Structure 1
Amino acid sequence: MTKLLFITGCFIFFVWLMSESSLSRLDRMNSELNYETHSKLAYKPKGYINVLTMIGGFNNQLEQLWFLNILAQRTNRGLVEKPMKLITKVFGPKRNISEIINRDKYLSVLPTITESEYFKHCRHNIKRIDLPELNWFENDELERMINEINNTPDDACITLGFFPSYALFGRDKFVDWVPAFKELVLPNFEFSRPIKLQADQFAKENDLEDGNFVSVQFRRGDFERHCGALFTYPTPDWSFAKLIGDKYAYDTNDFDEHWKHCYPTVNELADIIHNFASGLSKPLTKVLIMTNAEKDEIEDLKLALSSKNLEYLRFTPNLDLIPKSIGWTVTHSLAVEMELGIRGDYLIGNRHSSITTNIMGLRLNKDLNTNMLI
């Protein structure tokens, strides 16, 4: 008798699970929303999108966040919020985005729930979407995903079985998405208060508050191998660099030319900076270097800039301004450099680096001519 009751109870529970409507599931997920954070929602979410993983360094993940932001808003969906991996190591730390990004502002127009809330309400009622293996440099992955999701209006729980492709940001028609970025992402994106306080202090100490300085990316380390591989890529400029790429065109079929633009020597970079500064209508002497170079190259660059009457500056964190709740990493420092790169009047960067191109995207309210590609 006890066994029969148990089986009957299990059957009733199973039937209840299977008969639970997508609408009631959605209502419960929407009830999890914190409207103090999501204070400017323009729509009621029709469902939530979960992505299994995001890969790459901080700026690659930032691109993927922006991809998902546009995807959610163009499909009237919410997102499952995940921590960011700040260091690209197998067991690198994962942190809440609020350490780097002003979370409340970013999510004010974007509904999100936690991963645990998503699985609690969705359980087995999840539609997984996988993409076919196509050349995403030729096909628009974001448009494809928007159409896929809009064609499944009754699915409240969607999981993407892939990470947003890098190819979206490399394809020539990426520029077609710039208006959506300016409308849906840029107005609500800014770095967190701890990041901005560090930038404020550094700017004050180095007389940068008037913005009359140039931020320059000098990418080294793993980028040497990356530049070798990039020679065979089908695109010479990455994401927002495409907006000005023609102005700094070079023979992409010449490996020596490619190398000079992707991985310049210290003296080549110093000459580029000097020529840029010399062509400005007002004097420019302060140069903020964003780099992962070794000490020897840094010292050589200091000397090369000094010989051209240019002042080398590099950010180091003020330990007194770091909240005890934050375990500061090189990625936090990179975010401060990016914040300073947004504030400065000028930017010189690497057309193949998402660090440079993301800063360019965040500078779209400035004259494009204030940006230069190496």
Structure 2
Amino acid sequence: MLKCLNIRWNLLRSLLLFISCLLLLAFYSYLKARPSYALYDNLTRQEREESLALIHNSRGNEKYVYFKQLQGAGFNNQAQEILLFHHLALITSRIYVYQPLVWRPRGEKSHVPLSAFLSGPTKSTISSAVFNEVCPESEIYRVNLRVNYISQWERAVSVLSGNERCIVVTDWIFNWGYLATPGIHTIWPSYQKYLANHFEWSDSVLSIVDRSQTKLRLHSNVHKDGEPYIAIHLRRGDFEGHCESLASDHIGFTTWATLPVLQLSVLLPALDTSNATSITAHCYPSLYRILDAISHQARLHPNVRTLHVLHDGAWDHPLVYLQYYKLAEALKNDAWAKREGWPNGPMVRITQSADVPIGWGEADWAVCVDVELGRRAEAFIGNGYSSLSTQISALRLGDGGRPEDITFV
């Protein structure tokens, strides 16, 4: 009996020790990931001061717009909406009232300053923290803008071009349903120019990107050292269940992956939204399909022998790393490259998101670094169901990039 109790106690002690180690590891990861409170506090204070200075120096006839904003979704879901809001404000001659990002990368709901990530929408605009100081309640005109998807953009432009000084949009106009329809195609010509002229990362993001290209020896038009590379976004993790839902509802690609100019960029067989199997094949592609997409771009860029893989591997998605290593092994195989018709042999170097030199307190910016490295690559392979992939594709086209250098699996 005593021996049995000792065994149970030893097991319980081992279990408690294991749980304690996990908790310590989680706490360490949390501390390592999050930027200092002082940094975010300083940026929030700076946003307020710059906004007040802009108001103080204004002529008094400026018009403002404050939008109902998506909160708590992934970075690129929030960013694509914010950029569209800023673009809409600019073309209707209004000052954009920007809001914080609602950020949940550490399992918490926290408001972080937008300027920590994106500089463009925080220039010559004002923070929501001072909106009431320039637009008292008595001067605010509240409006719903949502109509049918085809007329949504024109309706928004028409209303915001009016004479009301302070407009608050009370409905969510760029919802996910709208962003997956051809209605957004009317936005693209002006939005492409907006990206070319107004898109800008924060200094923190650009610093990590420059450090990453140096360490990983990735050449681009911005960073001349290193070797040219192809980037691929391997969207896995928790995406499988999401893809099953999309297939069940017969949902097509999202946002800019639906642009007519990019339809020839879709790897054959083309997406058939009436066929759930076709949706699954594009949303959660097999390793063979991913390899076919890489081969397509490798043949178009025979001198590029470096591949950088953007992925969402993490402690709770360890199988992503297994798929990455399987992919890397195949791409470095001489015989396979020869069969695929690669004139200069297999890939020589393969790097990944996990190799990016993210320092203490910099994890919040990792997703931005992935986007920018995809934007700067010689060619890009992405997933038409992913906001990260479509964001990269839009930025590449905004830079004057060629549609043929983009492939959607």
- In 1, distance between residues paired with 2:83 and 2:195? 7
Which residue matches 1:157?
166
Distance 1:47 1:167 in 2: 29
Equivalent residue number for residue 14 of structure 2: none
Distance in 2 between the 1:49 and 1:63 partners?
Answer: 17
Q: 1:24 — aligned with what?
A: none
Match of 1:66 among 83, 105, 113: 83
**TM-superposed deviation, 1:33:** 4.6
How many Å separate the matches in 1 of 2:77 and 2:375? 18
2:312 equivalent to 1:292: yes
Aligned amino acid, residue 159 of structure 2? E
Displacement of 1:348 in angstroms is 0.3
Paired residue for 1:301?
Answer: 324
SS at 2:350 equivalent: strand
Correspondence for 2:299 among 269, 279, 286: 279
Q: Report the Cα distance in structure 2 between the residues aligned to 1:296 and 1:31, rounded to whole angstroms.
A: 46
- Partner amino acid, structure 1, of 2:151: D
**Separation (CA, whole Å) in 2 of partners of 1:239 and 1:198:** 27
Give 3-state SS (helix, strand or coil) of 1:231's partner: helix
CA offsets 1:227-253 (integer angstroms, 9 cap, x no match): 223236676332222231244223332
Helix, strand or coil: the match of 1:116? Answer: helix
* Paired position in structure 1 for 2:377: 344
Is the contact made by 2:77 and 2:387 (CA closer than 8 Å) also made in structure 1? yes
Query: Which position in structure 2 is the counterpart of 1:12?
Result: none
Q: 1:115 to 1:247 in 2, by over 3 A?
A: closer
* Structure 2 match to 1:239: 255
In structure 1, the residue corresponding to 2:369 is in which secondary structure? helix
CA displacement, residues 76-113 of structure 1 (integer Å, 9 cap, x when unaligned): 11121211123268842222122222x2x5444xx422
- The 1:128/1:106 distance shift into structure 2, 3 A limit, reads closer
Give the match's secondary structure for 2:407: strand
Structure 1 Cα separation of the partners of residues 51 and 322 of structure 2: 56
- Residue 195 (structure 1) shift: 1.5
Question: Which residue of 2 is the match for residue 147 of structure 1?
Answer: 158
Cα offset, 1:119, TM superposition = 1.3
Any conservation in 1 of the 2:231–2:377 contact (CA below 8 Å)? Answer: yes
Identity of aligned pairs, percent?
A: 21
Q: 1:285 to 1:165 in 2, by over 3 A?
A: same
Equivalent AA in structure 1 for residue 386 of structure 2: S
Counterparts in 2 of 1:233 and 1:127: CA distance versus 1, 3 Å: farther
Is the contact made by 2:229 and 2:379 (CA closer than 8 Å) also made in structure 1? Answer: yes
Give 1:142-221 correspondences, 5 Å limit.
Answer: 142-151=153-162, 153=163, 155-163=164-172, 164-210=174-220, 212-221=228-237
Q: State which of 86, 97, 113 in structure 1 corresponds to 2:126.
A: 113
Give the aligned CA root-mean-square deviation in angstroms.
3.0
Structure 1 residues 363, 247: closer, same or farther in 2, change over 3 A? closer
Q: For the residues of structure 2 that align with 1:60 and 1:360, how far apart are their CA atoms?
A: 14
Aligned to 1:119, the other structure's residue is in SS state helix
Q: For residue 408 of structure 2, what is the amino acid of its counterpart?
A: L
Q: For 1:336, what is the secondary structure of its paired residue?
A: helix
Q: In the alignment, which residue of structure 2 is the partner of 1:366?
A: 401
Matched position secondary structure for 1:251: coil
3-state SS of 1:53 partner = coil
SS in 1 for 2:137: coil
Letter in 1 for 2:158: N
| Structure 2: unaligned runs, 5 residues or longer | 1-49, 221-226, 333-346
Q: Aligned pair in 2 of structure 1 residues 91, 303: CA closer, same or farther (>3 Å)?
A: closer
Aligned to 2:357: 318
Change (3 A) 1:304 1:71: closer
TM-score in terms of structure 1 length: 0.77
Structure with bigger helix share is 2
Partner of 2:282: 261
**TM-score when scaled to structure 2?**
0.71
1:129 aligned residue (126, 143, 146): 143
Q: Aligned partners of 1:205, 1:76: CA distance in 2, in Å?
A: 43
Q: Give the secondary-structure state (helix, strand or coil) at the position aligned to 1:236.
A: coil
Aligned to 1:228: 244
Check whether the contact 2:232–2:307 (CA below 8 A) recurs between aligned residues: yes
Paired residue total:
325
